[in-house]
Structure 1
Amino acid sequence: MRHVTDLPYETTVEDHWIPLADGTRLAARVWRPVDPAPVPAILEYLPYRLSDWTAPRDAQRHPYYAGHGYASVRVDIRGSGNSDGYQDDEYSPTELADGVTVVEWLAAQDWCDGAVGMFGISWGGFNSLQIAALAPEPLKAIVTVCSTDDRYDNDVHFTGGSVLAVDMHAWAATMLAFCSRPPDPAHVGEGWREQWLDRLEHTEPFVHTWLDHQTRDDYWRHGSVIEDYSAISAAVLAVGGWNDPYRDTVLRLAAAGDEGTLRAPVRGLLGPWSHQYPDRGLPPGPAIGFLQETLRWWDHWLKGTDRGVLDDPPLRAWISESVPPATVYDELPGRWVGEPSWPSPHVFARDLPLVADRSDDQPEDALRTTAPTVEALAGGHPVPTSWLVDSPSHTGVDAGRFFPFGNDADLPPDQREEDGRSLCFDSAPLTAPLEILGRARVRLRLTCSAAKGQVVARLCDVGPDGSSTLVTRGVLNLSARHGRDRAVAWTPGATEEVSFELTGTGYALAPGHRLRLAVSSAYWPWVWPQPGDAVLAVAVGDGAVELPVHDRASSHPPVVFEEPEQAPPLGVVFGEGAEPRPERRVVRDVAEGRWLLEVDPRYGGTRTYPDGLEFTEDALERYWIGRDATSARTRSDWTVRLRRAPGDPLPEGMTGGWDASIRTRSEISCDADSFFTENEVVARDGDEVVFERRWTRTIPRTAG
C-alpha cells in the first residue's frame, strides 16, 4: 500500500449542513481543491457516522479524490450520525428522495461544475444504484461496490425464498444498535441529548418489517433496480468479490449492459475479495489500485477526459486456482480474464448427470454417489427409486460467515463434516483443469415428506487427500419453487422437478481433484429451518448439475491493475478493548443433542480519534439448534460507548466531558406457525438511564 501525499491539487475539508424541504439538516463533510474553480462532485451517502465510524475509511479515499480535482462528499443519511431526524428502514422512499435532493444541492454549489457521481460499498452501493434509477439530472455516473440489485433474493434477509437466519437476525440487531447511537455534541451542540432521545423514541426494530414480508412483494420490489434496469441512465461501474454475498449483482448488471437494458454503459469487475473495498488489502487478495481505477471512471464521465474505460472488457473477473480449505487466505492464486461480453462466448453450459456409482454405462463426466437407494419416505409415502436426504438440523455450522470482512475465521473450513451430513455426488479425478465462471444450476426430481422444506446444494473441490473446499452454494425454499412472489405448499409425498441457481464463482479445479455436489435438507444458521423436519428423496436418473465451464484456452486481452494507493491514514489509535474471544466457536451438548454457534463479528473494538473521541463497541451473536427445526433460536447483544474527556472539543457549558452508551439485545425463536422476536434498548448518559424500551412481536410464518 502506498500512501500518497504529492497529489495534483492542494485541498481543504469543510463540514456543511445540507437543508431539506421539511427543515431537516443532513451532516456533510466535503473535501475539495483549494483552487476556487468549480469541479465535479462525488457523493458517498451512508448511515454509518462520518465523524467517527467510517472516518478511518473515509480518510483513505475522499482526500485522494479531492487531490485529483474533485469535491468528494460524505453525507450521513437522515437519523444517523449527526444528521437530524430519524431512520425508519433501509433504503426508504424518504432516504432516496433525500438523496436526490443532496445530488441536486451539490450540483448547485459554486464549487461544483454541475456534474455529480455517486459511489459506495454495501449500503452506499445500494443507494447509488437506487438513486441512479430515480435519474436526477446531475448524476452522470456511479461506482457501486458489493451491492445488490435485488433486495429480496440477494440481500441479507432471504435467499432462495428462505429466511437468512444468520443475517436477518444479525443485521437487524446491528441496525438496532446503530440507529440507537447518539449524535456527537462536538458537532451538533448542546441539544445533542434531546436529538438523541427523539431518535430513540422513533426507533423500531427493522426485523419486524422484514419478517412481515416473507415473499417478494411490493415492499421488496421498492429499491430493487432489477425490476426496471432501463430507469438507470448514469454509467455504472459494478464491483464485487467472489467472497462477498452480492457478487451475482455484478453478473446481472454486466448482462443488462450488454443487452442494452440499461441506458448507459456498464462495466463489471469481480475479484477474489470479501465485503471490502478492493484497495484495502484485507484478505483474501490480491488487492488492486482501485482508487486509480475509479479515477479513470470519474475522469471519463464527469470531466469528459478519455481514460479508455470504454475499451475495458464488459466483465473483468478473477479466476482462483484450487486451494486447500482455510478460513482465511492472505492472497489467492489465480489470474484475471477479460470477457468480451456477458454472458461470454468463452463460457458454455455442461450438464453433469447424477448417477449411482455402480452404474457402468453412464457418461464419463457424470457425478456419482455410493448412497443406497430407497423406495419410501417417512410416513410411508412411496417414491420412485431415490436417494434419501435427511440432514441433521445442525448441518451448516461450518458454512462460514455470510459477510466475510477479511477476518481470520470468515471463510468456510474443510467441508468434510458438512459433506458427511449431506448426499454427495463426486466426479472422477480430473485429467485436466476444470474452470468455472458464472452461476451453476442444479436440477433435481424431488419427493418431500412434509408440506414445507428446503434443499441446499454445495459444489466443493475435493483434493487428493480428501479435503473439501467450498466453491459455491445455493438454497431453495420449496414453497418458493414456483416463484419468489408466492408461497406454494408441497403436497406431502408428491414428486416434482425443481431447479435453482448457485451463487456465481470463478474457480479452476486442478487435475487429480474431484468436483463434488453435496445436497442437504438443512443449513443452519444460514437459513431458518422449515417446520416439519422434512425428509427429501432425490430421484435416480433425473438430476444434473449444469456448469458454466470457461474455456481455459480462450484468448483474453491483458487485465492489469496498478498497485494500491490511498491518502495518508487518519491517525486513529486502536485499543485492545475487552478480553479477546474466538471469532467463531461451535459448542456441542452431546446429551441434549444441542449445538451452539457463537460469533464475534469484530467490527472495531475500541478506537481513539485525533480529536479525543473514544469509541468502543462490542457484539456477540449466538445461534442455537437442537434435534428438531422448531428449536432454532438466535440472540445478539451489542454495547456501544462514546466518551470525551473534559478537555476535548465540546460545546460551551459542557465542562464535565461526555459519556453516552447504549446496550441492545435482540432475539428470535419460533414454533411451527410463528416467529417470536424480542428486542431491547437501554441508553445511558453517564450513569443515568435516559431511555429504556422493550419490544415483543409474534409474526406468522407465511413462507419463512
Structure 2
Amino acid sequence: MKYRERFERQVVREDVWIPTRDGRVRLHARIWRPADAEADPVPALLEYLPYRKSDWTAPRDAQRHPWYAGHGYASVRVDIRGHGDSEGTPGDEYDEQELADGVDVVNWLARQPWCTGEVGMFGISWGGFNSLQIAALAPEPLKAIVTVCSTDDRYDNDVHYMGGAVLGIDMLAWAGTMLAFAARPPDPANVGADRWLPMWRERLDALDPFIHTWLAHQQRDEYWRHGSVCEDYGAVRAAVLAVGGWNDPYRDTVLRLVEHLPADRVRGLVGPWSHQYPDRGLPPGPAIGFLQETLRWWDHWLKGEDTGAMREPLLRAWVNDPVPPATSYDVMPGRWVGDTEWPSPRVTWQERPLGVDGTPPVPVRSPHHTGIDAGRFFPFGNASDLAPDQREEDGRSVCLDSAPLTERVEILGRPRVRLRLDSATPRAHVIARVCDVAPDGSSTLVTRGVLNLLARHGRDKAVEWTPGMYEDVEFELNATGYAFPPGHRIRVAVSDTYWPWVWPHGERGELTLLPADSALLLPVRSDGEEPPVRFEEPEQAPPLPVTYDVASGPRPERLVTHDVAAGEWTLEVDPRYGGSRTYPDGLRYEENARETYRIRSDDPLSASAVSEWTIRLTRGEDGDEWDAEIVARTELRATATEFVMDSHLEARANGEAVAKRAWHRTTPRTSG
C-alpha cells in the first residue's frame, strides 16, 4: 500500500449542517476540499451512510475522502437522518425520507460557492445502494456514481430473501445489528453537550426493529419494489461504475447493470474481493489501485477530461484459478479478462445432464444442519469467511458428478440448474451447489443457489406444490468467474435444507429428483485475444492513527458444536466488524457482538437465531467526560404457522438508564 501524504492542492476539512426540505431537520456533514476551492471551484463527491462518520467509518473515510480532495474534489461524508450526528429519527433502510434527504444534499452541494455544480455519489453496501437509488430519482446535478457491493433488487439480492426463501443468517443478524447501530447516540463533541441526550432520547423512542417489517413482506411486493432499480433501469440517468466481488453476495448486480444500462454510460468491474472496497488489501486479493480507477471515472464525467475510462471493456472480471478449499486466501490466483459486450458473444451455454437414461429417481432428504459449512453470508475479509472443504456438506446432499474433465472449462456469469422434481410436502426448498472436486476428493465451493418452491412461478406469489406431481424448476446460481482444470470433476450437490442461510419450512419434507431429466447449464467462456486489463497499485491517504485492541486469546470467529445425544447443532459467530478502538481525539469505541444459530437435525421447528450486541462510547479517563452504552438482543424462531420475533434494548448514560424497550411480534408464515 502506498500512502499519499502530499497533493497538488492543499486540503482543508470542515464540519457543517445541511438543511433538508422539511425545514426541521439538519444533516451533519464532514467536507474535505481544496483550500482554494472558492476561488477555483471543484465537483463534489457524496458518501451518504448511517454508519457514523465520527467513529465507525472514520478509519475508512480517512483513506479516501482526503485523497479525493487532494485531487481536486470536495469529498463529503454525510450521516443519514437519525444516525450519527444528524438530527431527526431513524427510519427503515432506503425509505422515501432517506432518499428525499439524499436528493436535498446533492442539490445543496451543487449550490455551494466552492462547487462547480457537478456532483457524484459513491459508496459500498448501504452507500452503494442509495447511490443507485438516488441516481434513479435523477437530481439534475448528479452526473455519475460509483456503486460498490450493492444491489438493484432489494427482494431477491439482499440480506432478507434469496430465491424467495427467508434468509435465516442475515435476516436476523442484520436486523439485530441495525437495532444496535440505530440506537447509538450522537456525539456531544459535535452536536453540543446540552443537545446530545435529548437527541438520543428522541431517536430511541422512535426505534422499531427492522425485522418486523421485513418478515411482514414475504413475497415481492411494493415494499421491495421501492428502491429496486431493476424495476426501471431507464430511470437511472447518471453514469454508473458498478463494482463487486465474487465473494460478496451482491455481485450479480454488476452483471445486470452492464446488461441493462446504456453501454455509453456504464462500466462493470468484478474482482475476487469480499464485502470491502478493492483497495483495502483485505482477503481475498489482489487489491487494486481503486481510488485511481475511480478518479479516472470522476475526471471523465465531472470534469470532462479524456481519461480513457470509457474505452475500458464494458465488463472487467477476475477469473479464479482452481484452489484447494480454505476459509481465507490472502491472494486468489487467476487473471483479469475483459468483455466489450454483455451478455458476451464469447460466453456460450453448455448443458451438462445430471444423469443418463435409466438413472433411477433419487430421494433428497437432507438433515436440517446441512449448510453449517456454508461460510459467512457477508465475507468481510476475516479468517473464517469462506466455505471450508465441502466434503461433509456433500455427504449430507445428493451429489451428481461429471466424468473427469479432459480440458480446462472456464465459466463467467450465472450458472443455472434445471431440475425435474416432486415434493412430498406442499412447501419445500431446493438448494444447488456447484463444487470443484479434485482427484484427492477435496471439494471447493464454486457457486450456489436457492429456490423456495413456493416461489417457482414468480417471487410475487406463493404457490404450493401438489405432492405426487413432477415439475421442472429452473433457477440461477450466484455469478462467478472460475476455471475448472483437467482431471477435476464438476459436482452438483442438491439438498432440501441449508441452515442457517435458509430458514426451514415448518414440516419435514422430501424431494424426489429425476437426474436424467435434470441439467447444469454453465456459461462457458472461450479462449481468445484479450483486451488489456491493468490497474495501478493501491494508493490511499495516510491512515487515521487509531489504536485497536488486540485481545489475548480471542474467541473463535465461527464455532460449530454438536450435542450428539440431542442431535442439536449450534453455530456461534463473532462478526468482527472492527472490535474496540481508541481514536486520536480521545473517543473510545467498544463493540462486542455474537450471533447464535441452533437447530436439531430432525426438527425444522427447532431452528432459532439470536443476535446480541453491546456498544459503549466513552471520552475522558474512565469515561468521566462522556459514557454511553447500548445492549441489544434480537431473537427469531418459528412455529408451524408463524414467525416469532423478540427484541430487547437498554441504553445507559453515565451508568443511568436512558431507555429500556422490549418488542414481541408474530407474523404468519405466508411464504417462509
Quick check: 1:513 aligned with 2:481?
no
What residue in structure 2 maps to residue 525 of structure 1?
500
CA distance in 1, matches of 2:95, 2:119: 22
Aligned positions of 1:375-390 closer than 5 A? 385-390=360-365
The match for 2:564 is 590
Residue matched to 2:648: 680
Q: CA deviation at 1:7?
A: 1.4
| 1:490 matched to 2:465 | yes
Correspondence for 1:137 among 123, 137, 140: 140
| Superposition map of 1:234-249 within 5 A | 234-249=238-253
1:578 Cα deviation from its structure 2 partner: 8.1
The equivalent of 2:276 in structure 1 is 276
- The within-5 A match list for 1:555-704 is 555-576=529-550, 580-626=554-600, 627-645=602-620, 656-704=624-672
In the aligned structure 1, how far is the partner of 2:468 from the partner of 2:637?
28
Runs of 4+ in 1 over 4 A off after TM superposition: none
Secondary structure, aligned partner of 1:319: strand
The answer to whether structure 1 residue 204 and structure 2 residue 205 are counterparts is no
TM-score (norm 1): 0.94
Question: 2:306 corresponds to which residue?
Answer: 306
After TM superposition, list the pairs within 5 Å mapping 1:138-217 onto structure 2: 138-189=141-192, 190-217=194-221
**How far 1:608 sits from its partner (Å)?**
0.4
Match of 1:425 among 397, 400, 414: 400
Q: Deviations over 1:60-92 (max 9, x none)?
A: 000000000000000000000000011121000
What is the rounded CA distance, in whole Å, between the counterparts of 1:55 and 1:139 in structure 2? 25
User: Which residue of 1 is the match for residue 34 of structure 2?
Assistant: 33
Q: CA deviation at 1:591?
A: 0.4
Distance 1:138 1:19 in 2: 17
Equivalences for 1:109-128 in 2 at 5 Å? 109-128=112-131
* Contact residue 156 and residue 171 of structure 1 kept, 8 A: yes
In 2, Cα distance between the equivalents of 1:241 and 1:439? Answer: 14
1:20, distance to aligned residue in structure 2 (A):
1.3
- Where structure 1 has 5 or more consecutive residues not aligned to the other structure, the ranges are 360-372, 374-384, 649-655
Contact 2:3 2:541 in 1 (8 A): yes
Q: In the alignment, is the contact (CA less than 8 A) between 1:450 and 1:493 conserved in 2?
A: no
Distance 2:413 2:4 in 1: 36
3-state DSSP of counterpart to 1:103: helix
For each residue in 1:103-150, what CA deviation from the matched residue of structure 2 results, as whole angstroms up to 9, or x when unmatched? 000000001010000000000000000000000000000000000000
For residue 543 of structure 1, what is the aligned residue in structure 2?
518
5+ residue gaps, structure 2, are none
Q: CA RMSD in A?
A: 1.2
Q: Residue type matched to 1:314 in 2?
A: L
Residue deviations 1:502-528 (CA, integer Å, cap 9, x gap) = 000000011111110000000000010
Q: Does 1:59 align with 2:27?
A: no
Aligned letter for 2:591? Answer: E
Determine what percentage of the aligned residue pairs are the same residue.
65
The CA distance in 2 between the partners of 1:55 and 1:6, in whole Å, is: 20
Deviations 1:165-208 (A, max 9, x none): 00000000000000000111011112111110110000000000
8 Å CA contact retained: 1:595, 1:624: yes
**Is the CA contact (8 Å cut-off) linking 2:605 and 2:638 kept in structure 1?**
yes
Match of 1:7, as an amino acid?
F
Q: Note the C-alpha offset of 1:647.
A: 11
1:606-630 Cα offsets, whole Å, 9 max, x none, are 1000100000001000000012111
CA distance in 1 between counterparts of 2:66 and 2:515 reads 61
2:437 maps to 462
Q: Name the structure 2 match of 1:368.
A: none
CA contact (8 A) 2:146 2:241 kept: yes
Q: Is the 8 A contact 2:633 2:649 kept in 1?
A: yes
With normalisation by structure 2, the TM-score equals: 0.98
What are the superposed Cα offsets for residues 647-687 of structure 1, whole Å, 9 maximum, x if unpaired? 99xxxxxxx41110000000000011000000000001121
Deviations for 1:529-588, whole angstroms, at most 9, x for unmatched residues?
01221100012421001100011x221111000000000001111013586100001010
